[in-house]
């Protein structure tokens, strides 16, 4: 087994959920429990929060976990899985990152599917398959380490409350999710962070001081203000 197989497994945990997610959670825990005890504990915590005893999801359970995934990473999200967006927003640096990742993924025949190349599961698959370990180490330390740290910080209760208040201002309704499972995806993200620290001998990443608070929330507020202004402009047409 390739020594970086665990990144393929972690990618599957962060993909949009399918019925077989519990099996991937179990196999990921098995891979990690020998050399990554802290990471394995986070995967175990994730498993305990899933609406199953380890068997494939029922349709009801699948619907619930898919809704939580959407609420965590897509619509009215806690954070985003776009590592480039987390770090650079709409700056040209994200465009450079996307171009470079796309080229490397094409060379390794990694299909990004409907997602952009900087979608975290896609980046993890690249990390797992890259033969150039120096480039892999650079990706892990310069991109993944800070981005995943920031993603985890977005699950903080205070930031969640700020985000809820912001969404209420711009949307009439909020997506309703299970109050007991709303933040379960913090666990696989924390597991990933611990694995990165062990594999690449990383310390604690400290994000630059941001007077406005959450960088992701700041991006969202700016985007929503632009949309709101566009909606109020006569003859303006919104674009995707």
What ranges make up the beta strands (E) of 26-95?
Answer: none
Exposed, middle or buried, 69 (CB in 10 Å: 0-12/13-18/19+)? buried
Q: What is the pLDDT of residue 219?
A: 60
**What length is written for the chain?**
240
Residues of the chain with pLDDT > 70, as a percent, come to 75
Q: Is the pLDDT of residue 40 over 60?
A: yes
Confidence of residue 96 (pLDDT cuts 50, 70, 90): very high
pLDDT digits (tens, 9 = 90+) for 210-221: 544 556 656 655
Other beta carbons within 10 Å of 189: 24
Domain boundaries, the chain: 5-232
Average predicted confidence (pLDDT) for the chain:
85
pLDDT digits (tens, 9 = 90+) for 103-146: 999 999 999 999 999 999 999 999 999 999 999 999 999 999 99
Q: Is the pLDDT of residue 77 over 50?
A: yes
Q: How far is CA 57 from the centre of its chain?
A: 22
Q: What span, in angstroms and rounded, lies between the C-alpha atoms of 51 and 201?
A: 35
SS3 label, residue 82: strand
Q: Is residue 54 a contact partner of residue 89, using CB atoms and an 8 Å limit? A: no
Q: What is the reported pTM?
A: 0.84
SS3 label, residue 119: strand
């Amino acid at each position: 087994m390739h020594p970086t197989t665990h990144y393929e497994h972690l990618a599957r945990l962060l993909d949009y959920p399918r019925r077989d997610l519990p099996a991937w959670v179990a196999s990921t825990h098995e891979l990690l429990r020998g050399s990554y005890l802290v990471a394995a504990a986070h995967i175990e915590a994730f498993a305990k929060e899933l609406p199953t005893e380890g068997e494939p999801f029922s349709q009801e359970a699948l619907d619930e976990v898919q809704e939580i995934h959407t609420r965590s990473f897509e619509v009215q999200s806690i954070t985003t899985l776009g590592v480039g967006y987390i770090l650079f927003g709409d700056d040209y640096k994200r465009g450079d990152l996307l171009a470079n990742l796309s080229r490397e993924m094409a060379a390794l025949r990694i299909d990004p599917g409907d997602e952009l190349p900087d979608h975290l599961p896609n980046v993890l698959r690249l990390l797992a398959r890259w033969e150039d370990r120096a480039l892999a180490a650079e990706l892990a330390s310069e991109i993944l380490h800070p981005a995943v740290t920031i993603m985890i910080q977005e699950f903080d209760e205070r930031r969640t409350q700020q985000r809820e208040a912001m969404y209420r201002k711009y949307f009439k309704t909020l997506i309703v999710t299970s109050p007991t499972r709303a933040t379960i995806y913090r666990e696989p993200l924390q597991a990933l962070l611990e694995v990165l620290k062990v594999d690449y001998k990383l310390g604690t990443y400290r994000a630059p001081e941001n007077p406005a608070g959450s960088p992701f929330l700041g991006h969202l507020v700016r985007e929503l203000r632009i949309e709101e202004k566009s909606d109020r402009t006569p003859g303006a047409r919104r674009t995707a």
